[in-house]
A = this chain, B = another copy of it.
Amino acid sequence: MATLQDITLAAALNILSAFIFFVAFAILRLQPFNDRVYFPKWYLKGLRTDPVTGGAFVRKFVNLDWRSYLRFLNWMPAALRMPEPELIDHAGLDSVVYLRIYLIGLKIFVPIAFLAWAVLVPVNWTSTGLEAGMSNITSSDIDKLSISNVHSRSQRFWAHIIVAYAFTFWTCFILLKEYEKVAAMRLQFLAAEKRRPDQFTGLNLYMSFRYEIYNHVYFWLIEKIVVYNANKLAKLVKKRKKLQNWRVYYQNKLERTSERPQIKTGCLGLCGDKVDAIDHHNTEIDKLSKEIALERDKVTNDPKSIMPAAFVSFKTRWGAAVCAQTQQTRNPTMWLTEWAPEPRDVYWSNLAIPYVSLTVRRLIIAVAFFFLTFFFMIPIAIVQSLASLEGIQKAAPWLKPLINIHIIKSFIQGFLPGIALKLFLIFLPTILMIMSKFEGFGSISSLERRAASRYYLFSFVNIFLGNILTGSAFEQLDSFIHQPANQYPITIGTAIPLKASFFITYIMVDGWAGIAAEVLMLKPLIIYHLKNFFLVKTEKDREEAMDAGSIGFNTGEPRIQLYILLGLVYAAVTPSVLPFIIVFFGLAYVVFRHQIINVYNQEYESGAAFWPDVHLRVVIALIVSQIVLMGLLTTKKAASSTPFLIALPILTIWFHIYCKGRFEPAFVRYPLQEAMMKDTLERATEPNLNLKAYLQNAYVHPVFKASIDDEDEEDANSQKWETESVTVPTKRQSRRNTPLPSRISGASSSPSLPDAIRQQPEP
């Protein structure tokens, strides 16, 4: 068990590393040549331009204004300054509501911490359970503040029980208020002034009949966009893009070295004939372009490539709302209607999976995820045994002399076994995303939501339970099956107070330092400068080299939930954990607010559709904390008071059911009244609106749009359209540069676009 000194030392170290990260960030972000790494959001919105215009040459790359370094932390208050409604305009509702999860953490834990320190810490501290009972175990100062210090059978446990009730009611109250607020924000956002294509559009899946039937059912139909199976086309376009990048790279090389670069055509460029790299790429790209034109022709003309899915747009929002919420035919697996996701949010390649295949895929993934969660240690253990000294000596005896070198030996012994696990954990979100994609969800947002639930389950089992109990996840599962049901909470409850100092360290390393590293954005920084050096020729290239990234709901949210779980579990057991969690939430809130304002560029906008998941997981954490407390009090033989806790999980479950009935419909349905009001308003204010033109190309597969860009080089119009739906002109300008007129602000009325699908572009 760690003593108070250990914890203090660890805290100091972590605070120091976080401080170093922040200083590095403060310096790097002020350098003009990093501007596109740390402020990409403003570039994407067209509100900031390269600081190249005027000034000395050095100033283009290095900031020589010493005064700006003095105020190196003032990005923090700046991040908090933008009001919420403006932030919604600036970054979308998803990001703002995502920030509210951090706020929830603060709202829940600040009062809980005060109460816990006011009531529980004195109660625990003045007890003498540790001295009396377990004198053989060395107890730390932190344990003196925890419930472990209370005597068995003590009447003092009543304090813990009453406080547990207070914690539950407070958490539920905050959850209720927040659900109310988020639901209202979502509905307001959906009904907001701005017209969006998905307000008018439903997605129809699994249709296996003639399309004429539509007009029979909906008389407000105005536009139907059939989904083509363009997966092969997308692949070809991607390949050409890659070749084009290489061509640019070789051309840049030619310019620098004045020597025509040559490559080998064989595998991986290692063998085969030597040819001129640029010529070779030119011919390859030409070949591919022809192939793409052919394929596009085929896709648009061959009836077989029409998938049984279509985006159906309506004259009114009301019509779309009705279509999305009702059943159309007898067999729901033959024709399913749902809300069309936002155009950016559509995950195209999953749109044509038939229903039976979908259910089979779900079964496969459920089984696979079970094995992933409980048995992932097995392949890692195998890799680790192979990567050990003996393993390598056995597998490759000829490496023996190399291994015996001291440095390599200690490297293998100390570092290699951990690498397999670290690599796995780094790739875990990707694995989970691939799983979700295989399951067949039709929008990126739902893919991320599903991956987030899986990630939460995984960390619950392998981080929370895995660190509390001994043995691998599978061994725990096995011992749980062989234990009586009433032993589960007791086993966990006994171990919980002992692990407090471990989790404090975990919070500091993973939470504090992790958040500070987030703001530094090391990976995008390096990649941007590499790209900038090798590829960038034009302004457009530089724009493409930026990697703004996004919030990463699928990894970020489960991580917050883990901290909420830890906070709620330790609130009544070891209140010393709470300050560390509060610092994490506070820091993370500021950092993510800054990132959302300046960096992240959300790929899609789901209108905070993830909130029911967030709510559910906090409720789960609450119930886990109650059960753990029950188990703990049972081991403390507080038999007279423990039964009073039984009501808590029941009430919490009931609270969840109530909230589900009350608020969840706002996230899965769309009220007709709102739609009708909005329609009426629009008809009154814009009687001559050409909605058909507006919706015409909203749901065209991106590959068709992209190919127009590349082919005809007249991307202005299309680009304009695309960015229009991405960016929102805000009142605010980027802070450091002079307010230039936005490249796209003012372009609010929808232009009539080149009729990409209907009129085939000439190859």
Q: Which residues of B contact A329 (CB under 8 A)?
A: 671, 673-674
Give the residue of B322, B485, B657 whose beta carbon is less than 8 angstroms from that of A481. B485
Tell me which of A128-136, A428-436, A604-612, A658-666 binds B: A658-666
Q: Decide: B330 and A326 in contact? CB cutoff 8 A.
A: no
Q: Are A673 and B217 in contact (CB under 8 A)?
A: yes
Asked whether A657 lies within 8 Å of B485 as measured between CB atoms, the reply is: no
Q: How far is the CB of A177 from chain B (nearest CB, A)?
A: 15
Which residue of chain B lies nearest to A654 when distances are taken between CB atoms in the complex? B363
State which size class the interface on A falls in.
Answer: 35 or more
- Complex CA gap A483/B486 in Å reads 8
**Complex CA–CA separation, A540 to B669 (angstroms):** 51
The answer to whether B217 touches A672 (Cβ under 8 A) is yes
Q: Among the listed B326, B486, B650, B666, which residue makes an inter-chain contact with A325, where contact means beta carbons less than 8 Å apart?
A: B326
Q: Give the contacting residue for A333; candidates B650, B661, B669; CB below 8 A.
A: B661
Q: How far is the CA of A363 from the CA of B322 in the complex (A)?
A: 33
Interface string of A66-89 (1 = CB under 8 A from B): 000000000000000000000000
Complex CA–CA separation, A325 to B183 (angstroms): 20
Give complex CA distance A395, B705 in Å.
91
Cβ of A677: which chain B residues have Cβ within 8 Å of it? 216
Report if A111 contacts B (CB, 8 A).
Answer: no
| A661 engages B332 (CB within 8 Å) | yes
Q: How far is the CB of A101 from chain B (nearest CB, A)?
A: 22
A483 close to B482 (CB less than 8 A):
no
A328 and B481 alpha carbons, distance in the complex (Å): 47
> A328–B676 Cα gap in the complex (Å)?
10
Question: With a CB–CB cut-off of 8 A, which chain B residues contact A657?
Answer: 359, 362
Contact among B330, B332, B673 with A328 in the assembled complex (CB-CB below 8 Å):
B673
- On whether the beta carbons of A328 and B217 are closer than 8 Å, the reply is no
Chain B residues within an 8 Å CB radius of A672: 217, 326-328
A322-B322, A355-B661 known; A327 vs B670 contact (CB < 8 Å): yes
A375 at interface (Cβ–Cβ under 8 A)? Answer: no
CB A658 to nearest CB in B, in angstroms, measures: 5
Contact of A666 (CB < 8 Å), options: B330, B482, B650, B669: B330
Set of chain B residues within 8 Å of A481, measured between Cβ atoms: 484-486
Whether the pair A485, B483 counts as a contact (CB closer than 8 A) is yes
The answer to whether A213 touches B658, judged by C-beta atoms less than 8 angstroms apart, is: no
Nearest chain B CB to A399's CB is how many angstroms away?
40
A327 in contact with B330 (CB, 8 Å): no
CA distance A480 to B326 in the complex (A): 44
Complex Cα gap A329–B662 (Å): 12
B-chain residues with CB within 8 Å of residue A306 when the two chains form the complex: none
Residue of B nearest to A676 (CB): B217
Question: In the complex, what residues of B have CB within 8 A of residue A519's CB?
Answer: none
Chain A stretch 289-310: residues in CB contact (< 8 A) with chain B: none
Q: Are A662 and B321 in contact (CB under 8 A)?
A: no
Q: Please, how many angstroms separate the alpha-carbon atoms of A658 and B362 in the complex?
A: 10
- The residues of B that contact A485 with a CB separation of less than 8 Å are 480-485
Assess whether A367 is interfacial by the CB under 8 Å rule. Answer: yes
Bound-complex Cα distance A327 to B663 (A): 12
* A483, closest chain B residue (CB): B484
The CA-CA distance from A331 to B179 in the complex, in Å, is 12
Beyond the given pairs A325-B325, A333-B661, A483-B484, 8 more chain A to chain B contacts, judged by CB atoms under 8 angstroms and listed by A's residue number, are: A322-B322, A326-B672, A328-B671, A329-B671, A359-B654, A359-B657, A482-B484, A482-B486
